[in-house]
Amino acid sequence: MLEKLFKLNVKQTSVKTEVIAGITTFLAMAYILGVNPSILHDAGMDRASVFMATAISAGFASIVMGLVANYPVALAAGMGVNALFAYTICGQMGMSWQAALAGVFISGLIFIVISVTGIRKAIINAIPKQLKMAIGAGIGFFIAFVGLKNAGIVAGSASTFVTIGDFADPQVLLALFGILLTIALLVKKVPAAVFVGMVITAIIGIICGAAFGLKGMPALPDKFFEMNFHLNAAGSFVDGFGELFANPLNAFVVIFSFLFVDFFDTAGTLVAVANRIGLVNEKGELENVERALVADAVGTVAGAALGTSTVTSFVESTSGVEVGGRTGLTACTTGILFFVSILFSPIVLSAVTNAVTAPALVVVGILMAQQLKEIEWDNMVYATAGFITVLMMILTYSISNGIAFGFIAYAIAMTAAGKTKEVHITVWVLMVIFLIYFALPQFM
């Protein structure tokens, strides 16, 4: 049955190899089970409910990817887009998390449509690669800043806007320890370095909290294992439709931002994995890519229905590929392990604090920031657009603002360079929409 489903012999792999690859991918991704509830909690959502939605949607979407596309790519609530959800859509724009979930749901439906039509290729070709890389890197800087802020390593200041935090605070010291440890593990190329770093940081915090009576430190739960399907947010996106579309321009910005980040994040991951396992044909096209994109979109729709931010393909899937994963059995194995992780929800919810998640956010930010190397910094058009995108994401504390400023800067720079005809019509349309967005105070 497995041979029929996943074509193991054709892919020159085995059940044992695929299962080991699936376990490896899960360990590399498992940090999301602690980080996602922490981030969405800042949007007003219940942590236990988000944990359950994260685990179930990741398990479901990964298995769908494995069965439908036969790709060794696992999915879960995406880093970066969850920050967009919590800190831009709900934080800066003031929308409820129900309205934000409605935006995620609609973006998933649109993603399904564009994945089975030629629109997908048109969109990819319309957005310059340099701008895509800048947006990915900018999100990396943004989530690293969020991690540092939540851990208290950086703090607000009336005179300098931001300043260094209180290093006499045990929670700050724990976060610093975790960041340095995780970076060291990453440099040493330890498998699942982010996950291992979180676990060690949590253990150290639990020991210090118990031994010295420190408040706010990670702690052990009363129950270590519990099957508790706590899904208060499931179906709540329906309640958010009215609020989302009360302001059409706001609705467009929300849906476009979710769609844009998810679309190109997924495309980048699929290209990376496909190149590694030989799924790119002589024309440079990915085999079964439409099925993979549909599977990803279905995961987003399911995640919104369950109560979590956008579900997307994880680049950490490459860790499983590196140990031999070649088929959808790898993704299915990872998906099953996400379902099993539900049993451990009490441990995650009590032991994973902001100090424990900060290392993951900072290190993932470092990894995402590496995309900056793809930008042609000696070309002032790309350098300007890339710099503005990254800078404005951080300084305006808004991913969507960064994207908007990046598009505007790119179009203006191309015009100044006398290359107006090389700018795709899609970019001009988006620039006009973003200018209207910034010009109307009620949409700020």
Q: What are the tens digits of pLDDT across the range 279-300?
A: 766 655 667 778 888 999 999 9
Q: Residue written as tokens 């990046």? A: 406
pLDDT, residue 123, reads: 67
Lowest model confidence (mean pLDDT) among 223-232, 256-265, 401-410? 223-232
Which one-letter DSSP state was computed for residue 116?
S
Q: Report CA torsion sign: 33, 74, 76, 78.
A: positive
pTM confidence score: 0.77
pLDDT, residue 396, reads: 85
Q: What mean pLDDT, rounded, does the chain reach? A: 87
pLDDT, residue 242, reads: 93
Q: Distance of alpha carbon 297 from its chain centroid, rounded?
A: 14
In the chain, where the domains are located: 1-128+151-363
48 three-class SS: helix
Q: How far is the CA of 364 from the CAs of 57, 137, 153, in angstroms?
A: 21, 10, 17
pLDDT, residue 138, reads: 87
CA atoms within 13 A on the CB side of 382: 16
**115 band by pLDDT with thresholds 50, 70 and 90:** confident
Q: Which of 70, 35, 60 is nearest to 360 (CA)?
A: 35
pLDDT, residue 316, reads: 80
Q: Is the pLDDT of residue 444 over 50?
A: no
Helix or strand (DSSP H, E) at 312: strand 311-313
For 76, phi and psi rounded to 5 degrees? -165, 175
**270 band by pLDDT with thresholds 50, 70 and 90:** confident
**443 band by pLDDT with thresholds 50, 70 and 90:** very low
Q: Is the pLDDT of residue 100 over 90?
A: yes
* 353-381 confidence digits (pLDDT tens): 889 888 888 988 898 888 899 899 999 99
pLDDT, residue 230, reads: 67
Q: Is the pLDDT of residue 43 over 70?
A: yes
Quote the CA–CA distance of 199 and 186 in Å, as a whole number. 14
What phi-psi label fits residue 347: left (phi over 0), alpha (psi between -120 and 50 degrees) or beta?
A: alpha
Quote the CA–CA distance of 38 and 431 in Å, as a whole number. 34
Quote the CA–CA distance of 20 and 238 in Å, as a whole number. 39
Beta bridge partners of 359: none
Q: Which of 82, 66, 85 is nearest to 25 (CA)?
A: 66
Q: Is the pLDDT of residue 411 over 60?
A: yes
* 142-159 confidence digits (pLDDT tens): 888 988 988 899 999 989
172 vs 353, more confident? 172
**228 band by pLDDT with thresholds 50, 70 and 90:** low
231 three-class SS: coil
